[in-house]
A and B are shown apart, each in its own frame.
Chain A
Amino acid sequence: MPILVERLSHTYLPGSALAYPALSDISLAVADGEFLGIIGHTGSGKSTLIQHLNGLLLPTDGNVLVDGFNTREKKLRKKIRSLVGMVFQYPEYQLFEETVERDVSFGPKNMGLEAPEIHERAFEALRLVGLPPEDFAEKSPFELSGGEKRRAALAGILAMRPKYLVLDEPMAGLDPRGRREILALIESLRRGQNTGIVMVSHSMDDVAMYADRIAVLDQGSLGMLGTPEEVFSRGDELIRMGLNLPQATRLVRALRERGVAIERDYFRMDELSQELIARWHHDR
């Protein structure tokens, strides 16, 4: 069963002089095991949208259904939050316990699970994120490196075994290697556990590389929804929305400006590279 967003609108401070319509009439679905990328200019409503996916915010109009459960129903909220794991920006700032294991156990403990189950889940989550519990469980979160802290924070969410994982800029502030490690981890969760992924990112390259579909938000509305190919072939519109393009797409456009005809709108560097090499061999 998917997450269904049906005609969602959200207005902050409704009815007041400061009423601010942040989202209007958004409809989309996140299927099991799907990777949905969300892109949009700052202020386009990305954060407001994802906070609706586990009931942190409720729609002013419309509905959000998680596996059929409506987020408006108060008594379902705990259930919904265990289905939808939410990873905010810089989640490592939220580490607070004395040991990594205790931190990772916080979520399952709140779910009311028994101690052995909590322990098992914490260790499983630490293994998933590549922090072997034998080495890390007893460490203080503050002894970890930046990338390790980020993964420990992610483990805390995974220990709740969410069916969907919603991530807001999960790679921000990480070094190039750390970025790749987190992306590989997210991708392996999807492949291994069929976890549905919703990822907000400013990096068009990362979204182009991993997303099955991309939702483009523009001033609170759903500007586009489609495969990376569909979305990134509408480069001019994206630029008008204040977004940029994947680096491969930018190179394709620069080549066309110089009279080199490239038919496809490439959005992945490796595919463009193959095309250029094939082309050169062919021309020769």
Chain B
Amino acid sequence: MTQETVIELVNVGFQYTGSEKAALKNISLSIKKGEVVAIVGHNGSGKSTLCKLFNALLLPAEGIVTVHGMDTCAEQNTLEIRRRVGMVFQNPDNQLVTTIVEEDVGFGPENLGVVPSEIRSRVEVALREVEMSAYAEKASHALSGGQKQRVAIAGLLAMQPEVLVLDEATAMLDPKGREEVLSTVLRLNRDRGMTVVMITQFMEEALGVDRVFVLSDGRLVMEGTPQEVFNERALLDESRLEAPAYVQLRDRLISAGLPISQNAMTCNALADELARVLSAL
């Protein structure tokens, strides 16, 4: 099966005006339709810069960024690219623009010139998809952080995007809010084939994705399944990252001689393995 490429970067470099250092150096990658990918990297590694290139918020200084074959540098593509690639940012309080939840969700399609009856139905569907229908007429400022982020996602859904990019969208949330946002985007991926790009500082969040990209000092230093990436402990350490806690525990147990699988990366998988090993004796 050949999968359609949604976002493609070829030899991309970027430098902020006035900065001595390049923020991104020679990055090539492609993201396929229906994939969930995570981008991880230390503070200042270039993660946010990278994802701002995905929807023409920033334009590459070198190389080419295309969305469905459309060059982000060509101005006539900008609006269409931004509609297709929706971004959710870190701070839940900076992204809602109106006072009532459903108005906020309708803001995007209204700007796109969608007719009012269609806006109404899109807003309804979008709120249902993030499980916020009950809050349609509520004041947006009174929502929890996780709820605000889900409304922000609904606002994007109402524009019918193909890719959701979450730029550390869970960083300011409590564990429950993080879980709400994560399960929402994973469900959208499962049920609707939504392509999802998650930038995150929480390595555990990268465990359930298809592919992980590791950035360090503006370079793409690794790309692979969570399994492959989190087994490269030396490279992770060089990149100022570390494997999720359960992966670290698994490796400690394996090196102490416990016959458990290298594939166990989560709490449940590790418990299954340990139950097998410890009770079989």
Contact = CB atoms under 8 A, between A and B. Distances in A.
Contacts of B135: none
A189 interface: no
Contacts, number: 105
Nearest to A257: B271
A22 interface: no
Interface residues of A, number: 38
Contacts of A254: 267-268, 270-271
Given A42-B145, A251-B267, A259 B242 contact: no
Interface residues of B, number: 40
A181 B274 CA distance: 32
Interface in A170-191: 172-178
B274 A260 contact: yes
A159 B90 CA distance: 30
A276 B258 contact: yes
B69 interface: no
Contacts of A176: 201, 203, 240-242
B274 to A, nearest CB: 6
Q: Which of B41, B177, B253, B271 has the most CB of A within 10 A?
A: B271
Contacts of A204: 175
Nearest to B243: A176
B270 A251 contact: yes
Contacts of B42: 175, 177-178
Nearest to B271: A254
A119 interface: no
B257 A280 contact: yes
A247 B267 contact: yes
Interface in B239-274: 240-242, 245-246, 248-249, 252-253, 256-258, 267-268, 270-272, 274
B279 interface: yes
B144 interface: yes
A255 B269 CA distance: 11
Contact of B174 (A41, A258, A272): A41
A273 B260 CA distance: 13
A276 B174 CA distance: 30
Nearest to A90: B172
A259 B280 CA distance: 12
A283 interface: yes
Interface in B37-60: 41-45
Given A202-B174, A260-B278, A260-B279, A247 B144 contact: no
B279 A259 contact: yes
A172 B278 contact: no
Given A205-B245, A244-B176, 12 more contacts: A145-B44, A173-B201, A175-B41, A176-B241, A177-B241, A251-B249, A254-B271, A255-B271, A258-B274, A272-B249, A277-B252, A280-B257
Interface of B: 41-45, 90, 144-145, 168, 171-172, 174-177, 201, 203, 240-242, 245-246, 248-249, 252-253, 256-258, 267-268, 270-272, 274-275, 277-279, 281
